[in-house]
Structure 1
Amino acid sequence: MILLNALAVWAATLVPGIWVSGWSQDPLMVVLAYLVVGAVFGVINAVIKPVLSLLALPITCLTLGLFAIVINAAMLMLTGWLVTEFIPGVEFVIDGFLWAGVLGAIVVALVSALLGRFLQPERA
């Protein structure tokens, strides 16, 4: 799951205004930085996102589910803040909520759905 999140975050860095930098420019350190960001993003999505989604259920219903994109963008922004503040040497930056955050959240959701569909085993 961490690898799936790391790949989704890597795809989100294709959006202008989102980038990840690691401890050095060594490819292994950059991959490790993406794995750290993927792990933090996974924990946030497992712990905070369900509570926030439940609290925002009325507005999500009123907007026919579009508010879920805003919640995903908020989770991405929270991940960026936590990684940049609390993990020395790793920086995950999102330049603005409206464009970079929302577009990054859409990219992460699409890539996660596609990779999850193809990489995770089917359940009976």
Structure 2
Amino acid sequence: MNLIVRVLLTAIAVVLLAKLLPGVAVEGFTSAIVVAIVIGVLNVFVKPILVILTLPITVVTLGLFLLVINAGIILLADNFIDGFTVTGFWVALLFSLLLSFLQSILFSVLKEDVR
């Protein structure tokens, strides 16, 4: 049940960011739910592999290269989903930062409601 709520909250964050950022577009809430699921799957399976493969450059850049990996995950999700569009790398980077920020806020509210 908690997973479904997290996916829905992420979809809401995706829709909000698509309205705010000029380079991001999502066709509807159904596409936003698919985006949330695909980003979650990519974060679980692809991101750890990329982090391990790029560990030397991540250490040299003091962890800032992880932002590039997050933007790459967003661009990869853009390639997989037809109803989701991100225009470029910098927009994907800003989208990933804002999505992480919104998710942390929304998930913290969810944890307070459970207690």
TM bucket, shorter chain: 0.7 to 0.9
Aligned residue identity for 2:45: V
How many residues align? The count is: 107
Q: Output the CA distance in 2 between the equivalents of 1:58 and 1:4.
A: 34
1-side partners of 2:86 and 2:47: how far apart? 19
**TM-score, normalised relative to structure 2:** 0.82
Return the letter of the residue paired with 1:17.
G
Structure 1 pair 60–81 and aligned structure 2 pair: CA distance change class (3 A): same
Q: CA deviation at 1:53?
A: 1.3
Q: Please give the alpha-carbon distance, in whole angstroms, between the structure 2 residues aligned to 1:15 and 1:45.
A: 22
Q: What is the rounded CA distance, in whole Å, between the counterparts of 1:112 and 1:10 in structure 2?
A: 12
- For structure 1, list consecutive stretches of 5 or more residues without a partner in the other structure: 22-29, 85-90
Greater fraction of residues in helix: 2
Q: State the partner residue of 1:50.
A: 48
Q: d(CA) in 2 for partners of 1:110 and 1:47?
A: 22
Which residue, out of 15, 20, 43, partners 2:21? 15
Gap change, CA 1:110 and 1:55, over 3 Å in 2: same
RMSD: 1.8
**C-alpha contact (below 8 Å) 1:12/1:105 kept by paired residues:** no
- Structure 1 runs, 4 residues or longer, greater than 3 Å off: none
The answer to whether the 8 A contact 1:18-1:92 is kept is: yes
Change (3 A) 1:54 1:113: farther
Go from structure 1 to structure 2 and tell me whether the alpha carbon gap of 1:114 and 1:57 turns closer, same or farther (over 3 Å shift). farther
SS at match of 2:100: helix
The alignment-based identity, stated in percent, is 38
**5+ residue gaps, structure 2:** 1-5
